[in-house]
Structure 1
Amino acid sequence: MADLNNIPNEEKNKVIPKTQNYSSSDCLQEFNDVSEIEYSHAADLAEHLETLSLEKQLCLLTRLPVSEAAEAVAELEEHARIDILENIDPDLAASLLSEMSPDDAADVLDELEEAHRDHILDNIDADDAEDIRHLMAFDPDTAGGIMNIEILILEDYINVDDAITKMRSEIEDKEVPYYGYVVDESDKLVGVISLRELLVAKHGTLIKDIIKEQNLITVTFDVAKEEVAKLLSHYNFMAMPVVDKEGRLMGVITHDDIIDVITELASEDLLSMVGAGYSESVDTPWKESVKMRLPWLMMNMITSSVSAYVVYLFDGTIAQMALLAVLMPMVANQAGNTGQQALAVMIRELATTRFETKRAWFAVLREGKIGFSSGMILGFVISFVVGFIFSNYALGFVMGAALILDMLLGALAGASIPLILKSLGRDPAQASSIFLTMITDSAGFFVFLGFASLFLLS
């Protein structure tokens, strides 16, 4: 990010036009404050913008050079971008989007309502608008939806000298400058060549000779972005070519976009495990959060009633020995933690590797062994502790036995729930902790109180 005090004269003239609505002493002071800071990256300026009110955001953006403002808007969180683009003049929005790379512009516009989006696109250069519309036609959750089309394309029949000359002339406008993508006369991708390979090759060497033994790895445009993330991580690539069904080059997915995908998926899994909204954040309007959370809270209330009913079945047992009411939450809580550990491991496995049924169920068996072994150790300890404290080793035995069984069940349930949800075509993380809690609580109460009825009160 350039120092705002050292903007060249030609750039100072190339700013988004100011509008009368945005002028205020507070806004001008904010602009002066920003001008005194050298932001090394657009993300830093975006972070600052997100701390401001919408009025100040608009005012500041209209006083920055277009390129600076566009980079900052592209780095903003979704809710902030929507607010800005819905409240800024379409002509000004078009100026910002024209400065972005097509994939970033497509991502930004995809968040807007169709009518407003089309109005902005009508104000963008026809060629740029065509590229953006082309990218927006793809499912945003697929390779086509996150690919970049600003790439260097090299014909396979040219030599390295011509390729370097072409790179030198075109590289400034490309977002992926470290690779050249080699195509044949049918535009089919036949190889990928790095800048280093070009520079060390002998003069006159044909591109096709450099790539002739290359093992080309690509993805088609309809592959899920999660799968692309796994492949890019597996092969340690900086970019992954995207092709159509005939193998023709369509674009490239870069590592920075995959980092965003991985972060997004991790956030979604974390939120969905507890029944929160996929895209929810602290800036989400509270009414929207209520709408997203309420169905799962209702589900949680229903599942909790199962545990409550189990306790009700043993009200006579608890009445005869009130100490059971003190100890039974420990059994359920310990099993719940065991299940959450298994749940987290399994969800991570499903998110980072290919789903293989046989291997996945072996993982469930592994978690069962861990749960049983941990339960044996903790059950042995708790048996003596409870027996010693309350001078009732029969109670300690009941506590330990219930703990072993419930921790085993918790581990098996925690590992199995994501697999069952996936086999049903659902998100493996979706409110899985709610179902796990129902199983461990109801089973823990039933086993503990049942054993108490059999061995202590019979």
Structure 2
Amino acid sequence: MPQDIASTEKPDIQPVGYELDDLYTYLEDERLDAIEPARLSITSPYVVSQFLGRLDVDDRRKILRLIPLNIGTDIVAEMDAEDAADVLEAMREGRAVQILEDLDPDDSADIVAELEDDDQQRLLKAIDPETAATVRELIEYDQDSAGGIMTPEVAKVFTDMTVTEAVGMIQKLDEELEHIYYIYVVDHDDQLLGIVSMRDLVMAKGSDVIGDIMTTELRGIIPVDMDQEEVAHEMAEHNFHALPVVDENKRLIGIVTDDDIIDIIQEEATEDLQKMMGAGGDETLGDPIVESVRRRTPWLVVNLVSAFFAGGVIAMFEHQIHQLTILAVCMPIVASLGGNTGGQSLAVVIRSLALGDVHRGESRDVCLREGFKGLLNGVLIGIIAAAVIWAFTGEAIVGGVVLLAMILSMTYAGTVGAFIPIILKRMGLDPAQSSQMFLTASTDIVGFAVFLGLGAWLLL
């Protein structure tokens, strides 16, 4: 019986790209030269960009030279703008210029804005004049505004065009634009007048005028100076793939796309988390040690001062603690639960503020609600703690002191956990900026004072 030929053939094994851990292994083993160019070329640009963030400039250049330029451009687009600028400054001018010209204008602008002045002017003179003009215009906007994150490449047609003319114009634009989300209708001064869908164009007659078939009820129009967090809220509210950006004269100058919003959300979430703990908002593991220390030290000094105040409260009750050591044993329990209660309120309120869910008239109610939650948790957790302490010490009054202290301190912690970010927001500051440190200092001082005061009063 003839052998089944198909069963003897070896299946084709498709090459796969590197995982991030694979690349880190090459770095740890100091074997960057062993990275395979072919395999690197099919690795996710995001993975490679994350890896490059751990390398010095020379090694970044070495890795990028292993792969074709078009793939290198995708990787540079995924990199942190400051890291990408460092790489472009060290590259040969021709290669750097080609990357800047191939990038989307908003990505090019982010990188150019991070260049040293001399390099910025040198590269802007070398790239295509039209691209250079666009980049110069974009870097004038605040990086955290709609203008700073928008792309000026917009699919737009004129209101007095026929459908046939508009379709021809869109076909030409399709060769230049990476994505066409919506087709915006403008007059010859670029005033935004309406929007027309692909379906409307397909269903309309070729002789129909765009102004007659467009939709004029527009939502989600973004002023160029709107903060990027507010832009993200608008995108979430309307569920559009892109939002039009207009200048002070209502002229259409760009769009913000949903992939830009994803980057903003990730950036803002990371920034809030790090600021809440007193680290730099844009600090990374690869930052110079001296720079990281410089950013963290001021907030640690604030923490040290608050710790001295908390220590001062304990020192006031030194005699009572010496007489009744159970106070020293239970003191960290009360402080820890108070801090955690406040931290829960803090996290919920900061998130709500970021999403715009807390309005000016609701601040008092938010604080009261979080305080009441802390009170109920204080009763429940306090009863458990009091029962355990009573069982171990045989002293019901000690358990009662712990119960009362937990109720008071956790009620206070819930209230102040809501109050701190709200008052920071009112002052025009970032609600996340080291709010955890202020909360810990406050709950420690009040928790120690309440517990030791009750202990001295009821037990001694």
Query: Of residues 354, 367, 380 in structure 1, which corresponds to 2:370?
Result: 367
What are the Cα deviations for residues 235-279 of structure 1, in whole angstroms up to 9, with x where unaligned?
111111110122110110011111111111111100000100111
**Partner of residue 332, structure 2:** 329
Query: Of residues 449, 452, 457 in structure 1, which corresponds to 2:452?
Result: 449
Distance 1:126 1:94, change over 3 A: same
Distance 1:241 1:40, change over 3 A: farther
**Partner of residue 409, structure 1:** 412
Give the aligned residue type for 1:136.
I
**Partner of residue 22, structure 1:** none
Q: Quick one: distance in 2 between partners of 1:381 and 1:300?
A: 31
Give the aligned residue type for 1:100.
L
**Partner of residue 179, structure 1:** 182
Once the two structures are TM-superposed, the CA of residue 34 in structure 1 deviates from its matched residue by 2.3
Query: Of residues 103, 112, 115 in structure 2, which corresponds to 1:112?
Result: 115
**Partner of residue 74, structure 2:** 71
Q: Secondary structure at the match of 2:182?
A: strand
Distance 1:326 1:201, change over 3 A: farther
Distance 1:83 1:397, change over 3 A: same
Residue 269 (structure 2) pairs with residue 281 (structure 1): no
Once the two structures are TM-superposed, the CA of residue 185 in structure 1 deviates from its matched residue by 3.1
What are the Cα deviations for residues 189-219 of structure 1, in whole angstroms up to 9, with x where unaligned?
1122333443344544432233345234301
Q: Quick one: distance in 1 between partners of 2:234 and 2:79?
A: 28
Q: Quick one: distance in 2 between partners of 1:104 and 1:244?
A: 20
**Partner of residue 428, structure 2:** 425
**Partner of residue 28, structure 2:** none
Q: Which runs of 5+ in 2 are unaligned?
A: 1-14, 16-30
Residue 264 (structure 2) pairs with residue 238 (structure 1): no
Aligned pairs for 1:195-234 (under 5 A) are 195-234=198-237
Q: Quick one: distance in 2 between partners of 1:272 and 1:51?
A: 22
What are the Cα deviations for residues 158-200 of structure 1, in whole angstroms up to 9, with x where unaligned?
2333322221121121134121111023311112233344334
Q: Quick one: distance in 1 between partners of 2:44 and 2:322?
A: 66
Contact 2:53–2:286, Cα closer than 8 Å, also in 1: no
Q: Quick one: distance in 1 between partners of 2:383 and 2:282?
A: 44
Q: Secondary structure at the match of 2:152?
A: coil
Give the aligned residue type for 2:188.
E
Q: Quick one: distance in 2 between partners of 1:48 and 1:331?
A: 44
Q: Quick one: distance in 2 between partners of 1:376 and 1:345?
A: 21
Contact 1:151–1:176, Cα closer than 8 Å, also in 2: no
**Partner of residue 360, structure 2:** 357
Give the aligned residue type for 1:181.
Y
**Partner of residue 189, structure 1:** 192
Q: Quick one: distance in 1 between partners of 2:108 and 2:357?
A: 31
Moved more, 134-143 or 49-58: 49-58
What are the Cα deviations for residues 369-405 of structure 1, in whole angstroms up to 9, with x where unaligned?
1111111111222222212221001011100000000
**Partner of residue 18, structure 2:** none
Once the two structures are TM-superposed, the CA of residue 156 in structure 1 deviates from its matched residue by 1.4
Contact 2:48–2:75, Cα closer than 8 Å, also in 1: yes
What are the Cα deviations for residues 93-136 of structure 1, in whole angstroms up to 9, with x where unaligned?
22211111111000111122222211221211111111100000
Give the aligned residue type for 2:303.
N
Query: Of residues 371, 380, 384 in structure 2, which corresponds to 1:377?
Result: 380
Q: Secondary structure at the match of 1:337?
A: helix
Give the aligned residue type for 1:118.
Q
**Partner of residue 315, structure 2:** 312
Q: Quick one: distance in 1 between partners of 2:326 and 2:33?
A: 68
Once the two structures are TM-superposed, the CA of residue 430 in structure 1 deviates from its matched residue by 0.5
Give the aligned residue type for 1:123.
A
Distance 1:254 1:304, change over 3 A: same
Query: Of residues 377, 387, 390 in structure 1, which corresponds to 2:390?
Result: 387
Contact 1:79–1:283, Cα closer than 8 Å, also in 2: no
**Partner of residue 83, structure 2:** 80
Q: Quick one: distance in 2 between partners of 1:92 and 1:54?
A: 15
Moved more, 77-86 or 172-181: 77-86
Residue 117 (structure 2) pairs with residue 121 (structure 1): no
Q: Quick one: distance in 1 between partners of 2:393 and 2:288?
A: 51
Q: Quick one: distance in 2 between partners of 1:283 and 1:65?
A: 26
Q: Secondary structure at the match of 1:158?
A: coil
Query: Of residues 41, 48, 61 in structure 2, which corresponds to 1:58?
Result: 61
Alignment length (residue pairs) = 431
Once the two structures are TM-superposed, the CA of residue 153 in structure 1 deviates from its matched residue by 1.2
Distance 1:445 1:147, change over 3 A: same
Q: Quick one: distance in 2 between partners of 1:402 and 1:427?
A: 32
Moved more, 233-242 or 164-173: 164-173
Distance 1:131 1:422, change over 3 A: same
**Partner of residue 164, structure 2:** 161
Q: Quick one: distance in 1 between partners of 2:299 and 2:51?
A: 35
Residue 158 (structure 2) pairs with residue 151 (structure 1): no
Q: Which runs of 5+ in 1 are unaligned?
A: 6-25
**Partner of residue 340, structure 1:** 343
Please report the TM-score for the alignment, with normalisation by the length of structure 1.
Answer: 0.89
Q: Secondary structure at the match of 2:114?
A: coil
Contact 1:418–1:429, Cα closer than 8 Å, also in 2: yes
Q: Quick one: distance in 2 between partners of 1:200 and 1:305?
A: 74
Moved more, 68-77 or 102-111: 68-77
Contact 2:232–2:261, Cα closer than 8 Å, also in 1: yes
Give the aligned residue type for 2:258.
H
Distance 1:394 1:84, change over 3 A: same
Distance 1:220 1:79, change over 3 A: closer
